[in-house]
């Protein structure tokens, strides 16, 4: 799996949220001022080339849909983050998050409980 640029990720977030969509529909959901159709169309074609999107043709209209689940890309991104910034250690990542977000022991215990519940 390839890493996405910021612009590619923004477009993918919309596809993950909206499901199958046309380029015009995606642009309509973006913040004002809307980017040019050609720009988003180019990003969508790149995402298709990277195999994040595929399409169905209805005449001259293309409806694009995600081929990679958001959760799979999230997992990939977290692993890359941990590898690049925390020497591959999840413990270092968690420690950093606890310190940066000034989590109390109670809050940390709640996170651990949620994770244990999800494992069960």
In a domain, 1, yes or no: no
pLDDT of 120 > 80? The answer is no
Domain C-terminal end among 66, 85, 105: 66
Who wins on pLDDT, 55 or 91?
55
Same domain, 10 and 59: yes
In a domain, 86, yes or no: yes
Domain that holds residue 77: 70-119
Same domain, 53 and 12: yes
* DSSP 3-state of 54: strand
Same domain, 78 and 98: yes
Can you tell me the distance from the alpha carbon of 86 to that of 93, in angstroms, rounded to the nearest whole number?
Answer: 6
C-beta separation of 52 from 61 below 8 A: no
* pLDDT band for position 118 (cuts 50, 70, 90): confident
């Amino acid at each position: 799996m390839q890493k996405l640029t910021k612009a590619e990720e923004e477009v993918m977030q919309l596809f993950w949220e909206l499901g199958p969509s046309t380029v015009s529909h995606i642009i309509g959901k973006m913040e004002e001022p809307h980017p040019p159709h050609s720009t988003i169309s180019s990003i969508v074609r790149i995402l298709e080339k990277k195999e994040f999107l595929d399409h169905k043709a209805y005449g001259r209209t293309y409806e694009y849909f995600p081929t990679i689940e958001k959760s799979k890309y999230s997992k990939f991104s977290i692993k890359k983050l941990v590898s690049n910034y925390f020497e591959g250690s999840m413990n270092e990542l968690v420690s950093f998050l606890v310190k940066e977000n000034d989590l109390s022991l109670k809050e940390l215990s709640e996170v651990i409980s949620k994770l244990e519940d999800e494992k069960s």
